[in-house]
Structure 1
Amino acid sequence: MTPAARLSAAIDVIATINSQRVPAAKALKEWGTAHRFAGSGDRSAIAGLVWDVLRRRASSAYLMDSDTPRARVLGMLKLERGLDAEAIAALCDGGRFAPEPLSDAEHGALTSRSLENAPAHVAGDYPEWLDGALAEVFGDDRVAEATAMASRAPLDLRVNTLKGKRDKLLASLKHLGAAETPWSPLGLRIALGADARNPGIQAEQDFIKGAIEVQDEGSQLATLLTAAKPGEQVIDLCAGAGGKTLALGAMMQGKGRLIATDGDKRQLAPIHERLSRAGVHNAEVRAPKGDADPLADIKGSADLVLVDAPCTGTGTWRRNPDAKWRMRPGALEIRLKDQAEVLARAARLAKPGGRIAYVTCSVLPAENSAQVRAFVAAHPDFAVVPPAEVAAALWDKADAFLAAVRTSPEGLLMTPLKTGTDGFFVSVLKRKA
C-alpha cells in the first residue's frame, strides 16, 4: 500500500471507532480481517496513524476547526508527524486509494491555525473533566505534562539478574538498537519511530531463556523503590500477570518467601509460566477460591506488602491513548474504593516495623497523595517514609532522581516529562515497631 492509501485506511478506521464506539484495537483488527491484502508493514503503519490520531484527538480537531475523522487525521499529521501543508497535500492528491484533495479551508487551517490560544485540555489532549485534577498536581505545567503523556512510548526491557547481566544483554540486543535506560540499573530501551513495527521481543532467545522481560522503566523503578531484600517475607497483593512479582523475585535472589495473589484469579493465569521461565523459585502463587481468604494464615508477619493498586491508568496514556477518551468519572470512584480496600487489607499483613509499598500507574491526586493521607489517618500505626529515604534505594542516582521527580509529603511521582517513564506514583508506609 502507498502512504496515501494507508492514510485513507486510517481515516476509515477512525470513522469506525467514532460511529460504532468500539475500542481502537478492535477496529484495527476488524479492518485487517476485511483487508487481508494488506501486509504486516501496512497494518503496522495504519495502526501507528490511528494511535497518533487518538494521542492528538482534541488538538487536531481544534487545529482544523473540524471534528471529523478526516480532520483529526490531517491535524495529527501536522502536530504529531511534523508535516507541513504541502507535504500533507501531496498525500491527499485524490488519486487511486488516496484521500480527496485538501479544501481551501483545510489548507488554510494547516497554514494559519495553531494551538496558541487553545484551552489547556485541548492543547494537552485530555478529557476536559480531568482539567481540575491535572491542574492540582501539575499547575501551569499540565499542558506540557499531558503532551508528554500523549507521545509514543519506547519499548523498555528489564534485565533479569537471576539469568543475565545488563552489559552482556546490551550487546546481545544491539541489533534492535537497545540502549541503557537513564535511571534503572536493570533497564534497556528500544526507541520506536512513528511507523516502527513491534520488534518481536518474545521471539528473541534472551526473552525465551528468561533473561529479559518487557517492563516500563517506571515500573522497574517502582519495584526497586520497595527495597525488597533477600530473606524477607514479601507479598505482592495485586500481582496480576506477575510483572512486579518477577522483579521482586530477582531482587530477593531466590532467598526468602514471596507470595503472589490477586483478587481476580483470571489475572494470575500467565504468572506460573513467567515465574518458571524467569527462574524465580521462591514464589508461591495463591489464587482466591470462593470467599475464602488465600492469605488467611498470614497476619502481621510480612516484611513488605506491595500494593500495585488498581487505578485509572492515567500514567499509561502514551501506551494506550484510546483509554483516556473512554475514561468516565464513575471509573475513578470505583478505583478509589478498590484502593482503600486493598490498602486496609495490606495493613493487616504487615508486621511491626514492616512496610507497605503503595504504587499506582496514575497521576491523579485522588488516587495518590489523597489516598495515602486517608490511609494514614485511618491507620495511625503507619507513617510515610520520607521520599528522600525511599529514593536511596537507587544508590548513586538517588539525588538526580529526586531532582527529576515530583515529590510530595506522601511520595514520589514519575512522569514522561520529568523522568521519561510512564506515570507512576510510589509511597512507602512503615508500620511502627
Structure 2
Amino acid sequence: MPRLLTPIPGPRSLRLAARRADAVSAGVASTLPVYIDHAEDGLLVDVDGNRLIDLASGIAVTGVGNPAPRVAEAVHGQIDRFSHTCFMVTPYEGYVEVCERLNALTPGTHAKRSALFNSGSEAVENAVKIARLVTGRAPVVVFDHAYHGRTNLTLALTAKTTPYKQGFGPFAPEVYRVPMSYPYRDGLSGPDAAARVLDLVEKQVGPPACVLIEPIQGEGGFIEPAPGFLAALAAWCRDRGALFVADEIQTGFCRTGAWFACEHERVVPDLVTTAKGIAGGLPLAAVTGRAELMDAVHPGGLGGTYGGNPVACAAALGAIDTMAELDLNAAARRIGATALPRLRAALGGRGDVRGRGAMLAVEFAEQTPEVARRVAASCHAAGVVVLTCGTHGNVIRLLPPLVIPEELLAEGLAVLEHAIVEGVGR
C-alpha cells in the first residue's frame, strides 16, 4: 500500500535534483521531481522510500505493469542472445513477429504491412512520408489541440506552442489545421463538426495527402470527438483519394477498453501509428497500414539504425501476450466504470469529466491552468501521480496501469476527489 516517509520530494530526491542541475539540460522538465528506485503494479517507490500511487503509467506506457513479468522475462531472454544487429543489415525473427501481431490486431481485415521505429514522432513522420509518396500530394490536414511529437515535422503537426514549439521554427510546410470536434466546448454533433472541417478543407486546401488525427486527443486535453466525426472524415478521405491516418500512440493497446480507439466507432484507418504501450516501457513504435500502401515505398525508404531493436521487439511480444492473457481491455473498462461516476460527483458540474476505459480526464470550466495546477500539486503532495494537459492547461488526465489493484485505484481516486473539491471551491 502507499505510504509517505518524507515530504515530496524527499532529501535523497533533492540531492539528486542538485546533481541533475549540473548535468542535465534545463530544457528537460519533470512533472514530479521524485527519483524512482523501483516500481510495482500501480506503485512507484522513490529513493526516499516513499510509495506513490501511479495514475500516469509513464504517459500510457506501462499499462501491462512495471515491470511486467512477461516483458521482463522476454527482455532477459533476448539480451542474453544478442542486443542489436540492425534489421536493415541482418534481420531477425522478433521484428517479423511483432509486425505479424500488429497486422492482425489493428482495425480491418485487409492485408497489411508494418514497419518499426523508435518513437511516436518517428512513426508519425513516416506515416506522412508514406501518404505523400503514395498520393503524390503534399498537404497534411491536422486538428486544433493535436499533439503528434517533437521533431521538426511533428512540431508542425502539433498545435500547442508552449512549451513544444516556442522558438524552434521554422517548421515544415504544407500543414493545415482545422477545428477538432470538442463536444464540451462546441456542442456540435459529429456529422456537423465534420461538415465544418470538410468545408474548410475543400475551400482552403484541396485534396490532401492525408488527414491525421488522434481518435481521442492526448496532450490536447483527452478530447473525445462526437460520435460520427471520425467516420465522416474517413469516408471523405476514401472519396477524395486521401489517406485517413489514425495516431493511436496514446490510445492504443487496450488503453480505451479496445485494442485501438478507432474500434469504438468501427473506423478502419488506412495507416495506424503506434508506440507508448506497445512494449511495456521499452522504446518501440510502428506504422501499420494497407499492404498496397506500405509496399509502394521503395526499398530503403523506411528504416533506421535502432528501429525494431530486438530487445524492444521481445518486450513488445511479452506485452501483447500479457494484454491478451489478462484481458486488459476488460480491465480498462472496469477502471473507467469505477472512476467516471466518482469524478463526476466530485466535480459537481464545474467542468467536464470524460474518457473511455482507462484514458480519463477532468476538465475544469475555467480556461486557465490555475485550478488544474492546484489539484495536481495537492495530489502530488499526497503521493498520487497525476498529469495535466490541454491547450489551456486546465485538464487533469489519468492513465493508470491497466493492472492497478482495485484498492490502489480506490485510494488514488479518493485523494484526487478531495483535491478536486478543494481546488474548485477556492
TM class, shorter-chain normalised? 0.3 to 0.5
TM normalised by structure 2 equals 0.35
Largest Rg, 1 or 2: 1
* Larger RCO of the pair (alpha carbons < 8 Å, separation 6+): 2
